[in-house]
Structure 1
Amino acid sequence: MISGVYLRKGMMQGRGAHNEKNVLMRTNILVCVVIVLGFLTTSIISYQSNQGIFYKDVESVAALTSEGIHHQIDSTFIKPVNISLTMANDSLLKKFLAEEEARMNDDSFIEDMRTYLNAYRDKYDYDSVFLASAQSKRYYNFNGLDRMLPEGDPENVWFYRFLQSDEEYSLNIDNDEVDKAGNEITVFINCRIYGADGETIGVVGVGFRVSELQELFQSYEDKFGIGVTLIDGNGTVEISTSRTGYQAENLFSSCPYPELKEQILENKAETQAVWYSSAKGSGYLISVYVENLGWHLVVDYDTTVMDQVLARQFVQELLVIIAIIAAVLIIITSVIRKYNQKISELAVAKEHEHRNAFQKATEQLYENIYEIDITHNRAASEATERYFESLGAPENTPYDAALHVIAEKQIKEEFRQGYLDAFLPESVLAAYERGVENLRYDFMIRSDGETYYWMRITAQLFHWDEDDSVRMMVYRQNIDEEKKRELYLYDRMQKDSLTGLLNKVAAQETIRARLLEQPRKLFAFFILDIDNFKGINDHFGHAAGDTVLIDFSQALRAQFRNGDIVGRIGGDEFVAFMPVPDRYAAERKAAALVKALHRTLTVEEAGVCEITTSIGVAVAPGAGKDFETLYKNADYALYRTKKQGKNGFTIFNGR
């Protein structure tokens, strides 16, 4: 039977092939690891080196560009701002505005205003020179009177917003509505003109086409690949190569670095430089606050394309590594296959030798070994079928049915259900699905139809590849002597060595368990104390005392049923615990104990001794639901008994 179970040629060959594959796999993996580590180390160092050089170049170019653009922007805006401020403080212009109301309908006044504004236009070659009167709401330029500025017109919002502000001058980008200007997008510098009393009497300024700055920004983008943008304090794009403040688009609604918005807009003290990376792109960003304009200069060096180039280069190197590894693996596999085959043959022979040794050892250790095909609910070999028949199962009986027959005919009743629950096919398959590989169950069985003995079944679960089934190797071992020794030692641990009753720990734990199992059931808890026992010990010695204790414990045990708990918890202190139908039954039992334990005993050393007992009783759950409470209350009742003269009992009724 055992040789049929273990020494299967197919299994050994399968394992030999498996070992061969493992050796080859380990060798190939080792070679792969060495090659991969070498190439990866070289590639990573090269990649990081190239990336570091590239990043330093990016930072240098971006820093120089931002400084150059900042300087050019300052140069571009300082001059028109200064000219506009000069005009705003010109006494002649203030005189014109003071005379406006009186000369409003005089063509010569309009001509004087045109001549004044055109003179600045011709001298400095600006695209626009204008004056807006706060009193008449007239808009003059180098052509004369251009238009009125009625409040509520969206085109005039800039004028009324500036009048309401406290700024001395401001910039805004708008379309130029002047005749023949073609609505070109223009940067306007607006300067406040103060009257004699400090009130605002007008707004004067110059304008130049935004395309001039856009061309400047475009030149940097074409030369260095850097994006340049001027934004206001809200992030609105004022000037870039493709957008102006006229469109009122927010930079951070479409850029790849929206998370930097607050960091850029809130910092006006120092230049900020930061690398960014997001799903939309990556790059190096420098932002500078241009104080004269109240705008932020944002220089963006987009490195997305270069990052992609570096990444592609790295991927190409990885592909080269993979190709080299594939070639090396093919060569190694072909070279060492024969060597691995020899190693595998040696491993199979060694395994065969090991199995033979294991078989011999197993035959000495186990009573029976058999194999079950759990998936198909049948014995896995003819020898196993014969074994089931020897236990009383009919021929060709399915495994689960045979299990029921064996349980009914041979296994002791209290172990039958546990046996079935452990080894029925559905239970075994469920255990295997949970990852359990070993099962064990100890029970009592009989082989002669009369005498039961202890048996241990140990089962090993495994998958059988040939028919894709779950199988169970079962080992039956007679453990009767081991169990008897175990139970004997356990019993010794539970019992008091002198009296044979439960010792203190065992009595306490058994009572606790009973209370937990049946918390609502009525139980009587007795504490018994031998009256005047100390005098016997003191006068006649411990041998006489032991004689009294043994006699008392035997008499006490005789007063209770097998299921009741009786123990010795101290020198002459005993406890008993039993279920009762009511409180009166506990009282009757206590009275019977007092009578039964009142004995006359002849002790060799002491002569005739009269033995009496004092008892304290607590009834659960009324007097306590746990051992400690019951003990405390019964002990109090015992104390009351002794105070009343001993040789009696007291039922605990409260303190």
Structure 2
Amino acid sequence: MPRTRPIIEKKTEINFWSIAVGLIAWLGFILLASFLSFFASIDSHVSDHAVMTLRDVSKGISQLMETKIEGQWTTLAPVAKFAESEEDLLQSEPLRLIMGSMKTTSQFSTVFVANEEGIAVNNEGLELDISDRYYFKKAMQGYQNISSLLKSRVTEEEVFIFAHPIRDASGVRGALCAAIRVEDLQNLIDHSIFDGLGYVYIIAGNGDIVVRSVPDEHPIKDVNIITFLTREDTESSITAQQLTHDMITRQQGYFTFVGNGDLQNAYYEPLDVNDWYVLCGVPMKHIRAQSTELFWIALKLCLGILVALAPGVLAFWFRERNRKIDLIKRNKELKWNEERFRIVTSLSNSIIFEADFERNTIVYPNGFKSRMGYEPVTEGFPYSVVEAGHVHPDDAQAFIDLHTKIPPFTEKLVGEFRFLGKGNEYIWHRIEEVLLLDDNGKAIKSVGRALDIDDEKKAIQLLEARTQIDSGSGLYNKLAMEVYIRKFLEECRHGRHAMIVLDIDDFKKINDTKGHVYGDQVIADLAAILKNQFRA
């Protein structure tokens, strides 16, 4: 017995340390494998985050560009409507004055009107022939369109042409056209994406780069992205053939390529203008920089667990401590993002809202009361908004119809209405809403904005009024009177009507003996007498 006891103790000692070393090695292996798996997951998350971020930014820029371009068409539409009533498009002085005003009040550098033969005259009276231009031919087919990049025959600048058809009872009789410089179209692009390190291209269907944003360095040096991808020294995850196919079929997608010595992430999204595309990109190093702090937190966590492997309680405490720190930081970041959203929306000229068509509610995340001067109605939408008098009576039914008679699978709502503002005055707003649909295509929610366009509306109304008033007498001119008389007769077809025609005897004698200035004053005085004697 005395000889066997030490042997038993020795075996017990060896078994204990073997098990301890084995457990430590096993736990170390598990931690190392978990560590590598965690970092692999982080890399995957960064890549997924890059795709989702670029997709959302591209879609947002695409929608913003479409909205801004739609604003240019909105500027042209009333002038084209006025031109329809002009007998001679090229000789109309009122039309030329309106085109001159458009040049100073819009982003258009030149405005011109063309007859059906393609002979055009611009706002300065300069005549030119555009019959060979594709945008003119397209407009004469009844389509409003934007040209490809052209060199202006007047200024030699590189421009894009917005062409709007002018119609009459027999069809298209001309086109109203307006040129916008490349740099002015560039200004429509949001240059602030990814803290100014991102870049945006507008690309035509053939791959030509139509417009590019203006960061310090662009990774695509060629003027055509298809040519860029076919170069032997271009490293890309997509082929030129695949991108061409996607653009023909109006698909969207993500790819990477090497440019400026760095891996670039890019996302392409179809633009609802011509066959154009929006391509949005950002260097991978910028996206990875956003997750660098997360890498360091994970590294500290793993090192702490390895150091505290023996005292399990300390390891658990360290993990919980880091989890709480990370949670507090995420909460702070979330609050900061919310505050940043609040600041951005408060500086914006828009009111952001979210409507729920199933619950008939609407909420406003930014300062509705500070902008409009009263508390919003949130229940019973849209009827309660009308009943509260927040919508102009003339616009009430259209406002209700817009939100209650939504066709299935409608993706977007747009309308212009007058809403009650400060001082009990109605202010024109343009409503733009993106709809959330259920499986049957029924609209269940919407997120949108109400943009103040009161100044724009009043400017257009003033412009329309100026075309109807005779500058000498202050009365309606012949064209306006003819329109109003025809409208009155059409609306009161079965009533009795009277029309007084006044003739000034020997008015030519007044002009011949007293001069035209004196004659103009006589007309103005007679107009004042008529205004005092008749209700208007």
Normalised TM-score (structure 2):
0.39
Q: Which has the higher contact order (CA 8 A, sep 6+)?
A: 1
Higher alpha-carbon Rg: 1
